[in-house]
Structure 1
Amino acid sequence: MDRRQSAAEAGVVASDQVFPDRRVGAAWEPVRARCYAAAGAYLSLTEELDTAEATGTPIPHGPARADAVVRQLHEAARGVDEFYHANSAGLAEAASVRATVPQLLARVRADAEGVLAKAAGSEFAAYPSVSGGVRRLNEALITASAVDPLAAVASAREAAAQVQQATADLSDALAQAPSRVTAATNAIASVTTRLAAVRNRAAALGPAYSALLREFSAASSADLTNNERESQRGIDAADAELVGARVAAADRDPETALDLTAAARQHLAEAEQLVDAVTRRLELLRGVRADPEAQARTVRFRLRDAQMLAVDRGLVAEWGSVLDAQAERLERITSGLKGRHPDYWAYVSELGTVAEFIAGVVDRMRKHE
């Protein structure tokens, strides 16, 4: 029984370390408790037997007690066997995995040391991606060296995975490093061209905003008041980043140059959005002014489709009045275009709100079982 218990115990310990979610230890606990109880009964009886033999006194009900202890030992041993047979595959798997962890750690350390040596001798060692990769890999190795692979299997496997990932990242950085100079040169040229294009587009923002103020109510462009200033700020920021990128490239630091060109692109994208918001607003409002009913017709068409869908799916009782209310709302919106300078932007915005509401209703009707 003791040998069987020891074998099962080793497998359970490995399983709890490698596969804690399986909770094999919890299932093993009552089996082990029966073994301890049987072993305790056996030791107690043998002590009494030794004493009785030394003193020459009989043990009350000795044969019956001995039979009971033997049965208890057999039952405990059978419980161990049943547990082991029921869990043998999982226990063997856990033991196998646990046994490989020290070799796994040794292998990933060797791979890491090889890549670190390659990085140390590389002409690109000063690149941020390489130096940063070296630092992260060394940190992962320190963590792995502090873990006992037999006492903390899960932690050791996680540490090994971190070393593997850091090794792969550093290897990739070394592989990419030779192409960084060309990439930085191309990026600087691309951003230079885009900066010029955004400046040309920004030149149209001022006249477009003035036209908005002249042709439409002030409310139609109130949210665009700061676009010219903010877009220029973005263009200036992109210009500064581009200058820094050129300096970094000249200093043989292409990775910093690439980071700076990426930042410049972000500034330019934000500036473009600000510029386009003004010019597109002017184009939109002029189109609405030329044919105010065009957008309303589009929304009415969507409303009719929604009403037909409600009829087809038998949902008129649930959604009919809701959709009818949107028809009334559309009439109020279109009738609001009055005066010398109607608020076309409010008109467009309100129509958009109605269209969005209708789309939501359609979506809910289509999901209805």
Structure 2
Amino acid sequence: MVASEQVFPDRRIGTVWEPVRARCYAAAGAYLSFTEELDAAEAAGTPVADGPARADALVRQLNEAARGVDDFYHTHRAGLAEAATVRATVPQLLTHVRAEAEQALAAAASSGFASYPSIVAGARRLNEALITASASDPGTSVAAAREAANNVAQATTELSNALAQAPSRASAAAKAIASVTTRLAAVGNRAGALGPAYSALLREFSAASSADLTNNERESRRGMDAADEALVGARVAAADRDPETALDLTATARAYLAEAEQLVDAVTRRLDLLREVRTDPEAQARTVRFRLRDAQMLAVDRGLVAEWGSVLDAQAERLDRITAGLTGRHPDYWAYVTELGTVADFITGVVERIRKNASEK
């Protein structure tokens, strides 16, 4: 019972046992009281009132208490045995995991990779887990001792894994540095087209079409400079035999490059898109109108014209207003594209709701 409460407190076996124990105590108390009364009556030579009936009732009470104990034991026998076994093995478990932990710490210290951040962090976590395990007493808190042992085992595995991966870190860092160096050069070359592309946007289209791209050249340069700085740090770390720091810095450089790349591509892609729209403005609108017709046909097929017909018809009118807005010497093609995209997104949302409504019916 005690073992189950310590090992598996969530099973609350003590709560289940309490009424069984209470019936046993009550039956034992009734038995003692009745035998005392019988002894007193025998000494006085007087009969006990309702003696036979009370004796029968007492026998039944004792039998019910005994049956309750038997039922409890048969129901929970496996769990109680499991808890007893676990409690008995916890001290051995703690001894085992401590031994493995000491071996892992010794291997890390003598490996030549002890200064790697992953090894330093892994050894620190393992030592902390060992301190907690040393403070655990299996005799008073089996559950806490088991948890401490499991934490030591997990920390040992993590340190061992880090140690196994350590030899490959240097080559991985060298490859990462080479890859990021190549990518930085590529982004730098692409950035050379950003200035001319932005100038073309200002010459060929309204200022509003590129207002959100004003700072892209400066911000992309800032990102590339930050990536270059991180890359320099990675080379220094690799030279200092700290490949893990080098890998972290190359990851930082990649993140800066990704941002710079997006900023560069946003300008060149905007120019290509607006030129394409200017060549055939109706092409974008035709695509959206085609999606609108599909949505209208879907509403008809699903019997939802009453609910969605007017909503979709309104989008057709909205498309007419958008295309009619392309006027003047320098129409705002970007606003045109953006508004068409908004309509397309709205239509997509309507289609999803139509399908959802139909599936629920």
Shift of 1:294: 1.0
Aligned residue in 2 for 1:169:
158
Of residues 87, 90, 97, the one that matches 2:79 is 90
Which one is further off, 144-153 or 204-213?
144-153
Alpha-carbon offset, residue 128 of structure 1: 1.0
C-alpha distance after superposition, 1:245-300 (max 9, x if no partner): 11111111111111111111111111111111111111111111111111111111
Unmatched 5+ residue regions in structure 2?
none
Asked whether 1:156 is paired with 2:124, we answer no
Equivalence map 1:248-267=2 (5 Å): 248-267=237-256
Instruction: Report what 2:26 is aligned to.
Output: 37
Q: Normalization by structure 1: what TM-score?
A: 0.89
The letter of the residue matching 2:282 is: E
The residue number in structure 2 matching 1:122 is 111
Matched to 2:194, the amino acid is L
| SS of equivalent residue, structure 1 residue 147 | coil
Identify which of 252, 255, 258 aligns with 1:269. Answer: 258
Contact residue 220 and residue 343 of structure 1 kept, 8 A: yes
Q: 1:99 is matched with which residue: 88, 102, 107? A: 88
Q: Using a 3 Å threshold, how does the CA distance of structure 1 residues 328 and 96 change in structure 2: closer, same or farther?
A: farther
Residue identity (%): 80
Whole-Å separation in 1 of the counterparts to 2:280 and 2:6: 73
> Match of 1:71, as an amino acid?
R
The answer on whether the counterparts of 1:188 and 1:246 sit within 8 Å (CA) in structure 2 is yes
CA distance in 1, matches of 2:15, 2:307: 54
CA separation in 2, counterparts of 1:352 and 1:269? 25
* Correspondence for 2:190: 201
Q: 1:220 aligns with which of 209, 218, 235?
A: 209
Determine which of 67, 73, 76 is the counterpart of 1:78. Answer: 67
Alignment of 1:302-341 (within 5 A): 302-341=291-330
SS in 2 for 1:114: helix
For 1:14 and 1:241, the matched residues in 2 are separated by: 56
1:290 alignment partner in structure 2: 279
Aligned to 1:146: 135
Root mean square deviation, CA, Å? 2.4
Contact 1:48 1:59 in 2 (8 A): no
Question: Contact 2:41–2:47 at 8 Å: present in 1 too?
Answer: no
Q: Specify the code of the residue in structure 1 equivalent to 2:321.
A: R
Distance 1:154 1:333 in 2: 69
Q: 1:78-112, CA deviations, whole angstroms, 9 ceiling, x for partnerless residues?
A: 11111222233333333333433333322222211
Output the CA distance in 1 between the equivalents of 2:77 and 2:87. 15
Corresponding residue of 1:3 = none
